[in-house]
Amino acid sequence: MRQTAALVGGEAVTSGATINVVDPSTGEVFAETPDCSPAEVANAVVIAQAASIGWRNRSVADRAAIIRRIGHFVLRDLPLLTESEARQTGKPLRQARRDVEITARYFDFYASAIETFGGETIPLNNDTLIYTRWEPHGVTGHIVPWNYPMSIMARSVVPSLAMGNACVLKPAEETPLTALQLGTLAIEAGLPPGVLNIVTGTGEGAGAALVTHPGIGHISFTGSVEVGRSISHAAAERLVPVTMELGGKSPNIVFADADLDRAVPVIVNSILQNAGQTCSAGARLLVHEAVHREMVDRIVSRFAAMVIGPAFEDPDLGPLISAAQRARVHAFVESGRANADVKTGGRMLSGGKFGKGFFYEPTLIDGVDPASSLGQDEIFGPVLAVTTFRTLDEAVELANCTDYGLVAGVWTSDLAKAHRMVQQVVAGQVFVNSYGASGGVEVPFGGFKRSGFGREKGVEGLRGFGQIKTAVVAL
Ligand code: NAD
């Protein structure tokens, strides 16, 4: 059994209460992590406040050098981090390895980005010098989910550190290990103690204590709409700015003139990567009726050929995160059976090589009513909902008919049609003849509608973690 400690002020801190960490590939507990109390979280914030002053006063070159070095150490420890990420999430080894590489890239990218990021001068008249400068918030709070624990931590924490904030992060209770490893590694790379603190624990306990602490100047939350709403309320009480990276029900929209050879493997990956537990998963297939039959047949045969298994066998598809998540996914599929056509999948897998792991078959459901729960709700599993359309206007209407607006993919060989879709689809990212920009570290990301607000990733991701001060100097 692995025993872990929270990281506060550069020190390993244990707590009386603990939380079990389960390996989703086997269903067995393999680690314990502290369940930090509100008082322990408050202590971390106070320590971060003290550390933030020295950190914001370091030169940009110094901050960038330390951040860049952490990224190098992440790559040095790639095998170790890959192993932990695969074990706690159940994701296949090669996906976990890719997540570590993306994590390292965040450090490299923001080390460079902050070195060329500055304010501007505003030419009002010759008697006045007006300039702006970016300043940190002080201490930023970060709450992250279990699906991409390490890379989402980096996406949120690294631009904040680069901007000169100190951070307190609470990882998801299911996946605390790589956050703690990353925190320890940052200290080794020269990050001053107290600049990055990790408090493990429950959402209602440690998480709520973090987002309501008066010492927090900005909150970055990635997770579900429900929790995002409650954190937004807590932030509104204190008028603290928030970034909300929430859920999605993103479509791939396939026109009759699309290159299907190119589209099919990408669409399959967009829903099966991480067993569908991806905020930007391509969970809906909106397909022109002329190519509907062919698309469904091709995707069904690919789904059926997927190798499913424990993370360490490096299959195509690993387990879901928990028994509860699997039961939730299955309930969605069962609810749709009466009115839609489950073409493949729809079963939980157990016994044999699946043992007590939380495995679920890749599932394609055809003829989904866009107004139904299958067509509207985020399932967060390997379940693709298929609906047909006839015209571009109908495709736009279907694409925009959910409460979400995170990502969309458009598949067509007609350039004008592609750009018209980019204009009309309501989503934070629209891909044309592709889906998901690889790691996407450099590309602004975030939601419209209930998928959230604020942007992370790219240079844009720095802005949320700073605030502009304007100086007006009479000459
Ligand atoms: P969740 O909202 O249940 O939990 C996310 C985090 O919030 C966890 O760390 C949890 O402990 C914490 N939390 C729970 N209640 C809290 C409270 N009252 N106060 C403070 N913190 C609290 O989400 P999840 O099940 O871990 O993740 C799945 C969801 O995350 C999906 O909806 C998915 O779409 C979304 N997600 C979005 C993005 C994005 O970038 N838009 C990325 C990944 C996941």
* CA separation for the pair 451, 127 (Å, rounded): 46
The pLDDT, as a whole number, for residue 16 is: 84
Cα of 353 vs centre of ligand 1, distance in Å, is 30
The continuous run of DSSP H or E covering 431 comes out as: strand 429-432
SS3 content of the chain, % helix, strand, coil (to 5): 45, 25, 35
Chunked into runs of 10 residues, the chain (475 residues) has average pLDDT values of 93 91 98 96 98 98 98 98 98 98 98 97 97 98 98 98 98 98 98 98 98 98 98 97 97 98 98 97 98 98 98 98 98 95 97 95 98 98 98 98 98 98 98 88 97 97 97 98
Amino acid at 82: T
Q: Which residue has the tokens 């790379």?
A: 189
Residue 222 and residue 149 in contact, taking contact as beta carbons nearer than 8 Å: no
The pLDDT, as a whole number, for residue 472 is: 98
User: Coil, strand or helix: which one is 365?
Assistant: strand
The continuous run of DSSP H or E covering 85 comes out as: helix 78-89
Supply 213's token pair: 């602490």
153 Cβ inside 6 Å of ligand 1 = no
The pLDDT, as a whole number, for residue 1 is: 85
Strand partners, 141: 168, 219
Catalytically active residues are 245, 279
The pLDDT, as a whole number, for residue 151 is: 98
* CA separation for the pair 285, 62 (Å, rounded): 47
Q: Atom of ligand 1 at shortest distance to CA of 202? A: 11
CA 300 to chain centre: 27
Cα of 190 vs centre of ligand 1, distance in Å, is 30
23 Cβ inside 6 Å of ligand 1 = no
Q: Which domains does the chain have, with CATH numbers?
A: 2-246+451-474 (3.40.605.10), 251-440 (3.40.309.10)
Residue owning the nearest CA to atom 8 of ligand 1: 172
* CA separation for the pair 311, 383 (Å, rounded): 20
The DSSP code for 353 is G
Cα of 153 vs centre of ligand 1, distance in Å, is 12
The pLDDT, as a whole number, for residue 15 is: 78
* CA separation for the pair 107, 64 (Å, rounded): 9
The pLDDT, as a whole number, for residue 464 is: 94
User: Coil, strand or helix: which one is 16?
Assistant: coil
Q: Where would I find the H helices in 189-275?
A: 208-211, 225-238, 260-272
